[in-house]
Amino acid sequence: MESRKRVLVTGASRGIGRAVMRRLASDGYRVTGLARKAPEDLAENEEFFCIDLADLDATRALVTELAAEQPFFGLVNNAAMAPTTSLDDCSIADMTDAAVLSMYAPLVLTQVVVSGMRRMKEGRIVNLSSRAALGKVNRTAYSASKAGIIGMSRTFALELAEHNITVNVIAPGPIATELFRSASPPDHPRTKALMQAVPLQRVGEPEECAGTLVFLASPSMSGYITGQIIHINGGQ
């Protein structure tokens, strides 16, 4: 058990974020989750605040208040949304919506929590990207935002290394989340083709991402890893 170090997780009501929150809490961290709705299975050792992360001013205000009570050792920027429009139909609004959750909110949250990390002279930031950052049909906005967080993370890693703060990226492939199921119906030809392209011939589980994230968040196991992208995609 590491300690009661505090970790902030966004998009923590379902999918990968929910799995991460449960795992961190079970490993002894003080976990604070953010999302628009609280999960129905919230445990006593998990704290949760409902907020629309697209409201950047409200997000900054809330997390500033939380960090004043106890600084955060860890930050997991997981929240995202995935417009499924084709090239011809992709709009500026689609691009903005995806960027707000995958780039703008992580920027705001990182700016808030790093002051406490600098004072503690340690910190772990893990940002969620996606295999789609390499390109995916009908995901122009999502792919762009997930490629953007990679560039941001590598820059953060360079700027924060002197403070013993690491910044890494997890880039999942197809994971059995609500977002994946809604965007990729199992009987759709494109989904079937996707499964055929995965060497392990299955969809990943949120808990598999959570295990990798806990490793990257560890104060003792991953302190010499920063600016890296870990792909969790079954070999895709």
CB 145 within 8 A of CB 80: yes
Residue 78 makes CB contacts below 8 A (sequence gap 6+) with 9, 10, 11, 12, 16, 17, 20, 128
The span from the CA of 111 to the CA of 178, in Å, is 29
Active site residue 29: no
| Secondary structure tally for the chain: helices H, strands E | 8, 7
Q: Which residues pair with 171 in a beta bridge?
A: 231
Give residue for tokens 């055929």.
196
Name the token pair of 124: 């772990």
Residues annotated as part of the active site = 142
